[in-house]
Chain A
């Protein structure tokens, strides 16, 4: 029996391509909620969990009968910023609509959102992916609309409790065109969007607290086919890596269904990150009819050209512009520059550090941050408050530049600073990591290594020059990274040849 998909016959050898569109909910970093004066985010220094349950509410966001929404102008400005930073057209007239569904954490029985006429339309993002960011593509943004968040249901001991602190928190939903063709592109899109909304200051970017949540629409089709296959929506994944993995899983699952002669159904699925699989939440038949209609409590949102232009003029340097500038000014590799400029905190740290140690040391600084710094931070427990200061990085960059420490030792120093804090100079002294450029100190070390490894010495002398690296590595290890690498290499060569 021959199988077909979208009118094309398919078998195990058919190459399929994924069609991915993303809907990202970005929480706007306003102090008050979108339609009420209640606090929208925890007091400075607090996490969401620190806030007393149902404390950040007013009768309006609790949906009390008789209350009316009043639009937070700051949230509008933030949404416009996001629209402009993603090259959207800003609609000078947009409409708020009610989206109806029953759920205990939706206090009004509807969510105020935008439907027919959203605030922003027709933008795009340029993404880069691949090992060194060598793949690039422009992804269209269909629309960005404003809406309110729901409350949070907490289930325990057979009861369901509702916390309305989050109800009415301002969100924008950024809807992409279905133009991504694989998990890596989706990941790159999310990282770029995240970099932009955090760089322009409209989102705090706290992934653990759900500041940036993603729904992915995924379908597949045999390569070359223009039509779309049956679409599956994967809901609410809040880590970039999990989105990639969920899509990866989903693409393969859909391929299996097609190749086993099954039929894909339009449905909403959830991703289980522990099992790394998606499972069905509801099918299209079970989907709600949201019964959108214009919210009669909110007049159309009317903006002037001047308002929009004033916001455009206030936009800071965007990640792409900053990346190009860093390449120019510090001679960074494109990929490294992307890494540094796509994270607000690293970007800020870099900027502050470079101001201290001078731009001529920017490249060393970048290497320290990208190599070891980012690895340390990302592997640490996110709840811990360990971190680096600009002073630490700039001191260390200077120490590397004037050869006080080797790059290898610098990495050890970073790890110590990260774990214990402290000053660069003090750590160097305490750990005895000052670079050894003294020939008389290195010579005995090398002699010993050569004596212990006669086989490798023989190999080198018979023309296998690659073995050089082995000796240098051994010598570095023996000196705990303190040896001046250039000096060391010269010395090894001299000894081997001599």
Chain B
């Protein structure tokens, strides 16, 4: 069978990478991975680290499952997927503990809970099991980035209004809201540091996205 050779970054492949950033975003359109979006977004630093961890896990796991897809018996595919994800998550967890213990402490149980992040299992079931390794890798990375993008947006809003700072990995806490404003009577909004506010921000992002992209409403 002379299959037409597709270039590595053809239009179709690139779409796998960029689609999840907008019209098929895992959080705002597929509504997956909400729990961690509420839990780790009080500080930008933890959101960025979480986003990277999930991106790596989804990408690599998706590719691994795709490589194994012809040898996995259908009946036990979930357990094989879990095994792959668990291995990767433990590796990420150990690396975090070794190289940035502070962040690992902050993320606490949520690194381990990447295993249960619906995005990971969802992509393997929906994509990795049926596609070739390279598109699977791109699809995984794309979804991870789409998830991470929303996470970082939420975290920036929450930390900026809740604490007046932005904490970046490797740089530390930056005071964004000037001290002069506090002297004029400005106060940090404590509500933004509570998880319910993350849910409301997600809702607002969904609202904005759907009013800009009407196609999403009819689904």
A, B: real partners = no
Residues of B at the A interface (CB closer than 8 Å) are none
